């Protein structure tokens, strides 16, 4: 029993329950003291959930250190060797490698859930003999979207960045390990809130949560989603602070910025975006919550509010956010191609700087989401031009990938297969993005399946396939065992075919005028293509099942991977698999270039010599 | 001994950089609030709406209080380098108390405002903006209290006082934001 309670998650759940009761009770008491009826669904639950999350974090023990710091207590000895039992993933750990796996596992648990929500909706739309009511349909697709973005996409890449950024820059850990733990533990709470929202009435605004629909007529589920998204945003800000500081301050001696691996460059670009712009979406979501619970009319026109204000604040974040989801993926592609082509990365500096270019350009294009929303016509043209310009740094990357692979002797491992699919799908998404940036085209395709097809191809090419490639590429480093190549290929076939079936018909459907987020359609000509998208989604789901089987099987029975199964040059391959607690036997000293495959026998870094004078 | 000092150096670098990066994010937090304020202002005539009468008297007193607190914290971060720990402790403690006085005056002012958060959009952004700032003052006052306690417990010396330097950065930032809030609310009509 004592061992059971030593698991952090168990204490966290108990603390969360206690906190919820306390918060809800406190609000009811305050309301009674003010002479109001004690029960107000919105306010009582909102306070209960916020206090519940606080209780959960306190019970997990995340604030123990800071509480002792506050009163100046003597530093307690913190054991720095984590237990090897799998239960360590259920408790607070400050080791960046454990946290990285915690992030990845959370994302991979919520990924099939979010896919399944959409599959139910797809089955309904295929008209195969069962039908949902429209509210349920929109609740399912809305939850699919928001869970995918906040609980799958961001945490999955946060996991890979947590694990591999410190390794790739030769650091022992992140700059702030305790903050790192805090940012992780917010994510499961947010995910659970977002999924239970379906049980609390759901919400049917789409993942964008536009007012005035979101501030009126919505059941309690909307509040849960708002609080969940706020927590997820908080988590990604804290983790951005951590990753940026780590890269700025903890690079190994000799690693100038133009010797950093591309994945680190993209991590920096991503974290700059999420560091700054998440504040805007968090505030917009908070405004919606305040308007719903305390009747503060930010958006309601009756009180002098402005509905469009939300869209500005939302897209000011959410456009850069599409790059937050995609940039680390582009980094993974850039990592894998040179290793599997055995050639230097073509145009290293251009690829590195294009990440920053995408980040900067991506902040100036948000208006293109609002061409149909009645923004001043004057603003449309500049936003159209900037949107098209973002294609340039992205094109630089694609060109460099192709040029790297060109003439190389490609080793067709499963990481590379996923990368190749990713490039093709990302290209489709990128090119259609330029097409729909043109204002008249945009007005025509706005809110149709064309848009859905566009952003799914960007996210498949920029997030899903690179994530899979990253998992296959780095799994040997994380576990010391290789994944099954045959299962990897099976998954690749399933997911590539599934993506084609899912995405391509949607472009046609969109041009033919089928609108997104509608639970029904009367023109039966749409039906075959709608069924094709459903089949595509199902194949992707099957691919995920194969992935899980492969992970669980290979964790125990996979062939031993040793330190460097892919013969990579970057620092993470210069230590054991999995790496020891302090990552490297000695502080690495970087003396070469990261991607000099085949042209230089000089290694990238020396990790063996002891290095007493850290002259930085 | 040598190893000890160099480790402290990297750690101080990381904490300072971490605070700077965090404050960059905080600039965008208040940026989003100011954006809301001006967006509503541009789209609402008249602004502030009728029935809103603001008296800058208490806010002006509050400005003085925060500026004096900032001065004390600055003095603390100078004095600590000379090892005058008793003075450092007094300065930090006073700064913390001033922070709480600021919160008290703000709360009193809120009660006597002619409008409420749910009256109109102006009330909403007014209370959200001042509320978020008050939350940051609360955080800062607690931080100064912690630093005062830690100074008393002998956690800082003339050579190792990263916490005080980093805390001072935060406190100056909160002050700076107040100047912006104060001018925006009371002088940019």
pLDDT in tens, A531-563: 999 999 999 999 999 999 999 999 989 999 888
Given a cut of 90, whether residue A378 has pLDDT beyond it is no
Q: What is the pLDDT of residue A610?
A: 57
B82-99 pLDDT, tens digit per residue, is 989 999 999 999 999 999
Question: Does residue B129 have a pLDDT over 90?
Answer: yes
Check B18 against A294: CB less than 8 A apart: no
> How confident is the model at residue A79, as a pLDDT?
58
Q: Sorting pLDDT into bands at 50, 70 and 90, what band is B5? A: very low
Indicate if the pLDDT at residue B7 is higher than 60: no
According to the model, what pLDDT value does residue A82 have?
58
- pTM over 0.90, yes/no: yes
Cβ atoms within 10 Å of B1's Cβ, excluding its own:
5
Is the pLDDT confidence value at A606 over 90?
no
Quickly count: other Cβ atoms within 10 Å of residue A409's Cβ: 9
Could you tell me which residues come within 8 angstroms of residue A555 by beta carbon, excluding any fewer than 6 positions away?
A: A479, A481
Q: Which chain A residue lies closest to B32 (C-alpha atoms)? A: A280
Residues 124-163 of B with CB under 8 A from A: 124-125, 127-128, 142, 146, 149-150, 152-153, 155
Q: What is the DSSP letter of A610?
A: -
Residue A260 confidence class, pLDDT cut points 50, 70, 90: very high
Report the residue of chain B nearest A285, measured CA to CA: B32
Q: B127 vs A280: CB contact, 8 Å cut-off?
A: no
pLDDT at A19 over 70: yes
Chain B nearest-CA distance from A17, in A, is 26
> What mean pLDDT do residues B162-185 have?
94
Subunit contact B29:A283, Cβ cutoff 8 A: yes
Using 50, 70 and 90 to split pLDDT, how confident is the model at B12?
low
CB of B118 within 8 Å of any CB in chain A?
A: yes
Span A66-81, average pLDDT: 76
Which of A275, A283, A298 lies at the smallest CB-CB distance from B21?
Answer: A275
Cβ-defined contact of A249 to B17 (cutoff 8 Å): yes
Check residues B161 and A105 and name the one with the higher pLDDT. A105
Q: Which helix (H) or strand (E) holds A605?
A: strand A605-606
Q: What is the pLDDT of residues A358-372, one digit of tens each?
A: 998 888 888 889 888
Domain A95-606 CATH assignment equals 3.20.20.70: no
The nearest CA of chain A is from the CA of B85 a distance in Å of 15
Per-residue pLDDT at A609 exceeds 80: no
- Determine contact: A258 vs chain B, CB below 8 A: no
The DSSP result for A464-524, as a single string, is: IHHHHHHHHHHHHHHHSBPPPHHHHHHHHHHHHHHHHHHHHHHHHHHHHTPBTT-S--S-G
Q: Could you tell me which residues come within 8 angstroms of residue A13 by beta carbon, excluding any fewer than 6 positions away?
A: A56
**DSSP label at A75?**
P
pLDDT tens track for A385-420: 999 998 999 999 999 999 999 988 899 999 999 999
In the predicted model, is pLDDT for residue A479 greater than 80?
A: yes
B122 touches chain A (CB under 8 A): yes
Closest approach of A126 to chain B, Cα-based (Å): 42
Q: Per residue in B25-53, pLDDT tens?
A: 999 999 999 999 999 999 988 888 888 88
Query: Does B28 lie at the interface with A, CB-CB under 8 angstroms?
Result: yes
Q: What percent of chain B has pLDDT over 90?
A: 69
Contact flag A295-B121 (C-beta cutoff 8 Å): no
* A248/B17 Cβ within 8 A: yes
Examine the pLDDT at A348 and tell me if it is beyond 50: yes
Residues in B touching A280 (Cβ below 8 Å): 28, 31-32, 35
What pLDDT does A605 receive? Answer: 85
CB contact under 8 A, A245 and B21: yes
Nearest-CB residue to A279 (from B32, B119, B150): B32
Q: What angle do CA A187, A189, A195 make, to 5 degrees?
A: 100
Spell out which residues of chain B touch residue A309, defining contact as CB-CB under 8 Å.
36, 39-40
- The pLDDT, as a whole number, for residue B3 is 31
pLDDT at B6: 34
Considering only the beta carbons, identify the residue of B6, B17, B149 that sits closest to A245: B17
Contact B24 A275 (CB under 8 A): yes
Confidence band of A36 (pLDDT split at 50, 70, 90): confident
Contact B51/A at CB under 8 A: no
CB contact under 8 A, B28 and A279: yes
Q: Give B15→chain A minimum CA distance, Å.
A: 8
Tokens of B19: 């605070």
Which DSSP state fits A560? Answer: B
Query: Would you state the structure tokens that stand for residue A280, as one six-digit string?
Result: 């805007």
pLDDT at A8 over 90: no
Contact A456, A495 (CB under 8 A): no
A63 touching chain B per CB within 8 A = no
Domain residue ranges of chain A, discontinuous segments joined by +: 95-606
**Residue A611 near chain B (CB below 8 Å):** no
How many CB pairs (< 8 A) connect A and B?
117
**Rounded CA separation A234/A238 (Å):** 6
Percent of chain A with pLDDT strictly greater than 70 = 97
Is A306–B31 a contact, with Cβ atoms under 8 angstroms apart?
no
What's the mean pLDDT when you consider all of chain A?
A: 91
The confidence score (pLDDT) of residue A321 equals 87
Please report which confidence band the pLDDT of residue A474 belongs to, taking 50, 70 and 90 as the band edges.
very high
- B22 chain-A contacts, CB cut-off 8 A: 241
Q: How many CB atoms lie within 10 A of CB A175?
A: 27
- Judge whether residue B2 has pLDDT over 70: no
- Which of A71, A248, A249 lies at the smallest CB-CB distance from B149? A71
Fold of B2-186: 1.20.120
Report the C-alpha gap between A239 and A184 in whole angstroms.
Answer: 8
Residues A497-543: tens digit of each pLDDT: 999 999 999 999 999 999 999 888 988 999 999 999 999 999 999 99
């Amino acid at each position: 029993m004592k061992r059971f309670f030593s698991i952090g998650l168990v204490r966290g759940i108990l603390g969360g329950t206690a906190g919820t009761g306390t918060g809800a009770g406190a609000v009811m008491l305050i309301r009674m003291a003010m002479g109001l009826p004690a029960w107000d669904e919105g306010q009582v639950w909102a306070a209960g959930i916020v206090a519940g999350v606080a209780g959960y974090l306190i019970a997990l023990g995340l604030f123990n250190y800071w509480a002792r710091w506050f009163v100046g207590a003597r530093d307690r000895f913190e054991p720095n060797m984590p237990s090897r039992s799998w239960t360590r993933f259920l408790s607070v750990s400050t080791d960046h490698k454990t946290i990285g796996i915690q992030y990845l596992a959370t994302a991979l648990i919520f990924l099939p859930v979010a896919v399944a929500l959409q599959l139910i909706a797809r089955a309904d739309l295929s008209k195969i003999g069962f039908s949902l009511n429209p509210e349920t349909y929109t609740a399912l697709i809305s939850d699919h979207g928001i869970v995918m973005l906040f609980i799958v996409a961001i945490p999955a890449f946060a996991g890979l960045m947590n694990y591999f950024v410190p390794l790739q820059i030769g650091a022992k850990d992140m700059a702030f390990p305790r903050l790192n733990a805090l940012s992780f533990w917010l994510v499961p709470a947010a995910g659970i809130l977002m999924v239970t929202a379906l049980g609390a009435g759901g919400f049917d605004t789409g993942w964008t949560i536009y007012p005035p629909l979101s501030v009126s007529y919505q059941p309690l589920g909307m509040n849960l989603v708002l609080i969940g998204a706020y927590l997820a945003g908080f988590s990604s800000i804290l983790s951005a602070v951590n990753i940026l500081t780590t890269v700025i301050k903890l690079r190994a001696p000799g690693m100038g910025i133009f010797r950093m691996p591309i994945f680190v460059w993209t991590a920096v670009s991503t974290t700059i975006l999420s560091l700054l712009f998440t504040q805007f979406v968090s505030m917009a979501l908070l405004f919606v919550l305040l308007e719903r619970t305390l009747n503060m009319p930010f958006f309601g026109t009756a009180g002098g509010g402005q509905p469009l204000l939300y869209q500005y604040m939302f897209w000011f974040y959410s456009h850069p956010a599409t790059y937050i989801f995609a940039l680390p993926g582009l980094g993974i592609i850039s990592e894998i191609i040179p290793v599997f082509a055995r050639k230097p990365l073509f145009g290293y500096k251009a690829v590195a700087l294009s990440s920053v270019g995408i980040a900067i350009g991506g902040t100036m294009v948000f208006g293109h989401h609002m061409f149909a929303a009645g923004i001043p016509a004057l603003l449309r043209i500049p936003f159209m031009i900037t949107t098209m310009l973002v294609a340039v740094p992205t094109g630089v990357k694609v060109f460099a990938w192709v040029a790297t692979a060109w003439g190389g002797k490609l080793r067709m491992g499963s990481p590379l297969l996923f990368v190749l699919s990713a490039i093709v799908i990302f290209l489709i998404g990128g090119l259609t993005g330029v097409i729909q940036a043109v204002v008249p085209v945009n007005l025509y395709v706005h809110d149709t399946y064309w848009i859905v097809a566009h952003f799914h191809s960007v996210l498949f090419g920029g997030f899903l396939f690179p994530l899979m490639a990253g998992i296959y590429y780095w799994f040997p480093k994380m576990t010391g065992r290789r994944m099954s190549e045959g299962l990897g290929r099976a998954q690749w076939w399933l997911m590539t075919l599934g993506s084609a079936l899912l995405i391509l018909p949607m472009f046609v459907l969109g041009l033919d005028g089928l609108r997104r987020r509608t639970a029904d359609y009367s023109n039966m000509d749409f039906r075959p293509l709608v069924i094709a998208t459903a089949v595509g989604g199902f194949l992707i789901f099957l691919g995920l099942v194969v992935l899980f089987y492969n992970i669980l099987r290979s964790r125990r029975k996979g062939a031993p991977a040793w330190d460097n199964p892919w013969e990579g040059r970057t620092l993470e391959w210069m230590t054991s698999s999995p790496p020891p607690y302090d990552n490297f036997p000695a502080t690495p000293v970087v003396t070469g270039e990261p991607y000099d495959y085949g042209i230089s026998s000089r290694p990238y870094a020396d990790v063996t010599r002891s290095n007493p004078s850290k002259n930085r | 001994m040598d190893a000890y000092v160099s480790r402290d150096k990297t750690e101080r670098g990381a904490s300072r950089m971490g605070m700077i990066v965090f404050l960059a994010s905080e600039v965008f937090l208040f940026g989003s609030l100011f954006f809301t304020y001006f967006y509503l202002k541009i789209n609402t005539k008249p602004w502030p709406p009728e029935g809103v009468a603001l008296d800058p008297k208490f806010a002006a007193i509050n400005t003085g209080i925060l500026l004096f607190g900032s001065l004390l914290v600055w003095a603390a971060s100078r004095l600590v380098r000379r090892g005058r720990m008793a003075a450092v402790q007094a300065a930090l403690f006073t700064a913390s108390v001033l922070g709480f006085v600021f919160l008290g005056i703000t709360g009193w002012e809120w009660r006597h405002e002619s409008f409420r958060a749910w009256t109109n959009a102006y009330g909403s952004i007014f209370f959200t903006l001042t509320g978020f700032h008050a939350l940051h003052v609360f955080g800062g006052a607690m931080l100064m209290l912690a630093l005062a306690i830690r100074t008393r417990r002998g956690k800082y010396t003339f050579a190792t006082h990263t916490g005080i330097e980093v805390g001072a950065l935060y406190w100056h930032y909160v002050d700076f934001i107040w100047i912006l809030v104060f001018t925006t609310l009371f002088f940019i009509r």
